[in-house]
Amino acid sequence: MEKKLHIILLLLCQFLMIEAATLDSVYTDRNSLWRYTRIEALQNPAMMTRAYLKSYTELSVQCDYRKQSDAFCLEQGTGFLMPEISAHSYVRLTPSSVVWGEAAYANGKCFDKVYNNVADMELLYPDVIADSIGGDTKRERYLFSGGYAAENGPWLIGGELKFRAEQEYRTYDPRMRSIVSDLTLKAGMARMVGKYRLGGHAEGNIYRQTADVDFYGETNGMGELQMTGLGTSYVRFSGSNRDIFYEGKGGAIGVDVTPDEESGWFGHLRHALHQYERLSDEYNAMPLTTLYRQQTSITVGWKRKTGNRDQAYLLHASYDKRASDEHVVGSASGQDYPILTDLTMYKQHRWDVYAAALYGCDSWHLLARTGLLSHRQSYAYEERKMEYARLYGELTVQWLKPVGKDLTLNLHAAGGYAGNISSKILMPYANMTPSITDYINHSYQYQKASYTQAELGIKADYQPTKWPVGVFGQLATRWQFCSESEHEGNLHLTLGIIF
């Protein structure tokens, strides 16, 4: 009898040890810097079948705050305050199928945006409606996404749907209001070939934004500029034409090779094409400009995980091209304006090439990254150019370890420097208004600057074995110092539960 009891206790101990090890590996799987080597592969929804070791659901409240002493980019303003509640879930339905989803709501404000009166400026630049007054804006965002992936023999398939609705508005002149709907559908498949998963995915996107600017003050009836890049505007339809909308569509394909285990070669290639047409509401949906965006990225690397040590090395190159066609509009016939021709007046070429090395040992991870960023913009006539290139290096250290029985700490610190190595500006200053000259000079001042970055963060997860849920909190701060004697401060706070 005593012998049997010993055997049962021994088995129970073994089981508990395995369970404890599993919990640790689950936590590491979700929080470790090692995920950096898997992020791109997970763009393919088919690969999500093995995205996490265990199901989880996370509910959190978070807040992001950013303040710049002077706007590094006038169109994006001097910062934002963005509280958000969100829920993430990843559930294994059967050993071979998973579903995942996310829902989030954010309601905050952006500070002091100038020369930009639309939402999603990062997508639509330079084809925005703008003025030199600007101001703070309020912003509200709803995000929903969900997906399903399954394995059948050597095959993996998956699909994902993402929907974002957003509005950004100002309650004083100039009263801008932008309403965005953005839908992305993704489908992917992969196949086990030896020790590797070879996959491909395709995605389609439909985008729409309505944007209008109103002035309620009797003396504030100033005009809005239909910007076309580097301080130029579509003068003929600027002024009182303040109601526009954007219609966008696009797609992307990607190819992935990734080792089934955590060791081996990996590679990702992604090519995306999107276009955003700006139409005037007041001129019978007349197209003013169309922005064509082409993004291509490639990553190749090698990684190895053995016991408590891991290492990865990768090379990455990405190219982002924007080409904005101005539609040359003819004389109106009734309500219709014929398009005489299209001219690609604005172009932007952005290259980012870097090498990264990741090394992990026990509780520590170290990520080093160095690269070159080149950004060139040009406007055809009258000729305008603005260019800069930066050489950068970053170092991130992470320490992730259980402290005691119920608490796990995740600390990270990062530092980096991006130094300007070349810059060039060419502007027809004699033909530019003083306000546009100030705008351009301000943009160039911060584009040709060098930046020093420092980041510090702590995350604590507390999950006593008796609790059905775990709680976690995260606090992080990031600072950026510009060579123009200005700085940026960021604060991130998250509180949540996980089960």
Partner 1 sequence: MSNEIQCKDMKKILSIVMLLMAVVLSACHQDNDDYMTQATISLDGGDTLKIEQVQAMAHLTNLNSRHVTSTADFVGSKVQIELLRGAYQAHVEGILSYTDLQGKRYVRSFRAVSDYIELVNSGMSEVKLSIIFLD
Examine residue 331 and tell whether it contacts partner 1 (CB under 8 A): yes
Binding mask 152-181 for partner 1 (x = CB under 8 A): --x---------------------------
Task: Give the one residue of 329, 367, 414, 436 binding partner 1; rule: CB under 8 A.
Answer: 329
Task: Give the one residue of 87, 143, 323, 475 binding partner 1; rule: CB under 8 A.
Answer: 323
Unique residue bearing structure tokens 């088919």 = 46
Q: What's the token pair of residue 416?
A: 């980096």
Stretch that binds partner 1, among 40-48, 135-143, 212-220, 339-347 (CB under 8 A): 339-347
Q: What's the closest the beta carbon of residue 149 comes to partner 1, in angstroms?
A: 17
Nearest to 447 by CA among 378, 375, 391: 375
CA–CA separation, 92 vs 53, rounded Å? 9
Pick out residues in 351-390 that bind partner 1 (CB under 8 A).
380-382
Q: What's the closest the beta carbon of residue 462 comes to partner 1, in angstroms?
A: 46
CA–CA separation, 45 vs 188, rounded Å? 6
Q: What's the closest the beta carbon of residue 389 comes to partner 1, in angstroms?
A: 23
CA–CA separation, 113 vs 49, rounded Å? 42
Q: What's the closest the beta carbon of residue 255 comes to partner 1, in angstroms?
A: 6
Q: What's the closest the beta carbon of residue 336 comes to partner 1, in angstroms?
A: 15
Residue number, 212 or 326, with CB nearest to partner 1: 326
Q: What's the closest the beta carbon of residue 150 comes to partner 1, in angstroms?
A: 18
Which distant-in-sequence residues (6+ apart) come within 8 Å of 183 by Cβ?
161, 162, 163, 164, 205, 206, 207
> Cis omega (within 30 of 0) on the bond before 382?
yes
DSSP state of 224: B
Which distant-in-sequence residues (6+ apart) come within 8 Å of 459 by Cβ?
31, 409, 410, 411, 472, 473, 474, 475, 494
Examine residue 193 and tell whether it contacts partner 1 (CB under 8 A): yes
Task: Give the one residue of 431, 466, 468, 485 binding partner 1; rule: CB under 8 A.
Answer: 431
HSE-CB of 328 using CA atoms within 13 angstroms = 6
- At 26, phi and psi to the nearest 5? -65, -45
Task: Give the one residue of 232, 241, 299, 408 binding partner 1; rule: CB under 8 A.
Answer: 232
* Residues near partner 1 (CB under 8 A): 154, 191, 193-194, 198, 200, 202, 232, 234-236, 251, 253, 255, 271, 273, 275, 292, 294, 323, 325-326, 328-331, 340-345, 347, 380-382, 431
